[in-house]
Amino acid sequence: MLYHLLYPLHTDFIVFNVFRYITFRTIYAILTAFLISFLLGPWFIRKLAQMQVGQYVREDGPQTHLKKAGTPTMGGSLIITAIAAATLLWADLTNFFVWIALLVLIGFGLIGFADDYLMQVKKRSKGLSARGKLVLQTVLALLTGALVVMHPGFSTQVTLPFFKTVSPNLGWWYVLFAAFVIVGASNAVNLTDGLDGLAIGPVIIAAATYMIFAYVAGHVKIADYLQINYVAGSGEIAVFCGAMIGAGLGFLWFNAYPAQVFMGDVGSLSLGGSLGAVAVITKQEIVLALVGGLFVMEALSVIFQVGYFKMTHGKRIFRMAPLHHHFELKGWPEPKVIVRFWIIAIALALISMSTLKLR
């Protein structure tokens, strides 16, 4: 909005020229989103506590988690508000991809919200059914994929990291592929969200990586120099990613161990879905498995554990899945698991960024 209001003034006051630059607007989107979630955090947490939106903690999990019962959850609503507000303030609102990112953020947020609301406010023990959630996620992700594919000039080729000449063209199958990326990312972040700051840290790291990818993919000269897919208009997604970073940092202030608030499904599903959407828009889809490698590790630990458990009628590979519980049960203190997982996420993000050059 500020771009539309203030940039036109540059003909009279040259200083307003800065609103043209994606880099400038991205920095201020980070700061704006941070301030919104940081400043509104205490009030929001008090409201959640008053509404008794307190976490129920399963008794079959690690015993150290029992003391977390009653921690306010659904903090993701504040993250979404901060991201949406900062994006609306700083992005170019005539940009199609900005609205796609907001659609996924808010749409997946509403699915998570419905689940949390049924569970926390209506005290229905299970919330939405797993199948119901998956159907809603898939429908929304398919719609997103179709909208993107119909956008003039959007390529249905898939970028393979490390291979600059191989990029298979999926045609209309790209819609299915995009939906898989978005739904997969959404659920993988959800599974990771089981220790204080464990999900939001790597979400911030992944958003920072995609902020760079978006800038590069949307810049015709840099994209050409690096020989990556140029996606006209995707540069504005850097502003959205910036808003994710800022909102995430503000939330982490309160979600840091020992957490005063959890993000809930409203946060994990929407943040994961948004990362998936951003990966699709910037045409760095496959590398998301590396950028978000930590989320993939957590999801694979569940798939292998559940598969093995069923095959062997009760035997386990890990002490407990998702993977973070395994290390907790091995006796690692919670902050150690969290920080070590963040370190892995940073290393994976750096390797992912190197794929821009290693091709």
Residues that bind ligand 57M (CB under 6 A): 55, 57-58, 60-61, 65, 68, 73, 190-191, 193-196, 255, 259, 262-265, 268, 302, 305-306, 309, 316, 320-322, 325
Nearer to ligand 57M, 55 or 352 (CB): 55
Closest separation in Å from C-beta 126 to ligand 57M: 10
Estimate the crossing angle of helix 264-281 against helix 237-255, to 10 degrees.
150
Q: What length does the chain have?
A: 359
Among all residues, whose Cβ is closest to ligand 57M?
61
Nearer to ligand 57M, 48 or 102 (CB): 48
Residue matched to tokens 């907790």: 328
Nearer to ligand 57M, 120 or 352 (CB): 120
Closest separation in Å from C-beta 267 to ligand 57M: 6
Most distant CA pair in the chain: distance in Å? Answer: 75
| E-state strands within 151-258 | none
Closest separation in Å from C-beta 228 to ligand 57M: 34
On whether the CB atoms of residues 97 and 281 are closer than 8 A, the answer is yes
Closest separation in Å from C-beta 343 to ligand 57M: 18
Closest separation in Å from C-beta 64 to ligand 57M: 9
Nearer to ligand 57M, 176 or 302 (CB): 302
Nearer to ligand 57M, 16 or 309 (CB): 309
Estimate the crossing angle of helix 264-281 against helix 130-150, to 10 degrees.
30
Comparing CA positions, the residue from 125, 115, 93, 249 lying closest to residue 186 is 115
Task: Give dist(CA 92, CA 8) in Å, integer.
Answer: 13
Nearer to ligand 57M, 150 or 311 (CB): 311
Task: Give dist(CA 223, CA 243) in Å, integer.
Answer: 23
Residue 359 token pair: 């091709």
Closest separation in Å from C-beta 48 to ligand 57M: 11
Nearer to ligand 57M, 152 or 314 (CB): 314
Task: Give dist(CA 229, CA 281) in Å, integer.
Answer: 11
Residue 122 sits at φ, ψ, to 5 deg, of -85, -5
State CA 337 to chain mean position distance. 20
Closest separation in Å from C-beta 214 to ligand 57M: 26
